[in-house]
Amino acid sequence: MKNLENYSLLAHHTFGMDVKTARFIEYVSEIELKDFLCAHSLENQLWLHIGSGSNLLFTGNYAGIILHSGIKGTEVLTENEKEVIVRVGAGEVWDDFVALAVDNGWYGAENLSLIPGEVGASAVQNIGAYGVEVKDLIVQVETLEVATGRKRIFERDECQYAYRESIFKKSLKGKYIVTAVVYRLSKLPMFRLEYGNVKAELEKCGCELTLKQVRKVIVAIREAKLPDPKVQGNAGSFFMNPIVPRKQYEELRKIYPEIPHYEVDTDRVKIPAAWMIDQCGWKGKKIGRAGVHDKQALVLVNCGGATGQEVITLSEEIQKSVKERFGIQIFPEVNFI
């Protein structure tokens, strides 16, 4: 187990702020984590569990304990001619798992290619892209209870999944640590190509529809729009796409006939925050050393040396102008620490 003091978090988040944590703990097995939880009562301390920090904005040094999972490994639990049930350690890099699934001919995860982060966080955050959410694949989430170190397995239906939401972010926030996730993938071809330009991009390349090809196209779409955090600090989408009453959307459509939307249910639709931010003229703009990405208005970037506070100031200005123009409050997807 790694147990480090006054440790730099530069390599453990993607926004590029040079901040430190008072203590950094990295465990490599469930047993190691259990022992740690039993020996330290985390409930009475300041602590935070991180994945690869691709959804975090640090506003300064962290005075508590940061935990990180080093639990690796992918194991096929059961398999038949139709599907495979696979258990993956929480510390595995999400996209490595997607690559492995594609290489093995397992369908279901390919639309989630290149999403940054780790397997444990995928189940907390319900990551999603191109018409798929990870909840569609999850069977069980294995955890340890923070207070006792006891193991608890959550069935998918107990996790209260919704758009970028789960029970682990709400009523059980800080109560359980994910150690492994069990996913179900299909061995029979099934593609989800309805979202945005996925189908058009596939047709453009004129190639055969295969799992590998879908992954390649998704990777290309993401790389074209989203900045590489190694080059420019960022945390992917900074805001969530707001879900609004259908009536409000219909009103807005009278003024903006081109307004994009996604269906949620009969009463509600989701409106892309990126479109509204873009309409407000923010794309490519900067306040201090924090900016709005010039190819995807939903992504805020560290233009070099930005502090967390500078990013927050920019985000608040964006929220204000979206609210003024569209009457819609948008909320960050990124966690401020």
- Residue pair 218/113 in contact by the 8 Å Cβ criterion: yes
CA separation for the pair 326, 321 (Å, rounded)? 8
Q: Are strands 47-50 and 62-69 parallel, antiparallel or unpaired?
A: parallel
Q: Is 297 in the site for ligand EPU (CB under 6 A)?
A: yes
Q: Which is nearer to ligand EPU, 101 or 298 (CB)?
A: 298
Q: Which residue among 130, 154, 168, 183 contacts ligand EPU (CB under 6 A)?
A: 130
Distance in angstroms (rounded) separating the CA atoms of residues 67 and 36: 10
Would you say 212 or 222 has its CB closer to ligand EPU? 222
Of 152, 164, 289, 325, catalytic? 164
Site for ligand EPU in 172-201 (CB under 6 A): 195-196
User: Which listed range, 8-16, 43-51, 234-242, 324-332, lies at the site for ligand EPU (CB under 6 A)?
Assistant: 234-242
Query: Which two structure tokens, joined as six digits, stand for 201?
Result: 């991009």
Q: Which of 30, 92, 142, 333 is catalytic?
A: 333
Name the minimum Å distance from CB 265 to ligand EPU: 17
Axis-axis angle for helices 198-205, 211-225 (nearest 10): 110
* Six token digits for residue 202: 């596939």
Distance CA(140)–CA(137), nearest Å, equals: 9
Assess 121 for contact with ligand EPU (CB under 6 A): no
Q: Is 268 a catalytic residue?
A: no
Task: Find the binding residues for ligand EPU in span 261-290 (CB under 6 A).
Answer: 272, 274-275, 278, 283
CA dihedral 322, 327, 332, 336 (to 10 degrees): 90
Q: Taking CA 32 as the corner, what is the angle to CA 27 and CA 34, rounded to the nearest 5 degrees?
A: 115
201 membership: H or E segment, kind and range? helix 198-205
Q: Does 145 bind ligand EPU (CB under 6 A)?
A: no
Binding flag, residue 307, ligand EPU (CB under 6 A): no
Q: Is 296 in the site for ligand EPU (CB under 6 A)?
A: yes
Is 29 catalytic? The answer is no
Q: How far is the CB of 35 from ligand EPU (least distance, A)?
A: 34
Residue 74, strand partner residues: 88
Report if residue 241 touches ligand EPU, rule: CB under 6 A.
Answer: yes
Under DSSP, is residue 124 helix (H, G, I), strand (E, B) or coil?
helix
Residue ranges binding ligand EPU (CB under 6 A): 129-130, 195-196, 225, 236-237, 240-241, 260, 272, 274-275, 278, 283, 296-298, 333
Residues carrying an active site annotation: 164, 237, 333
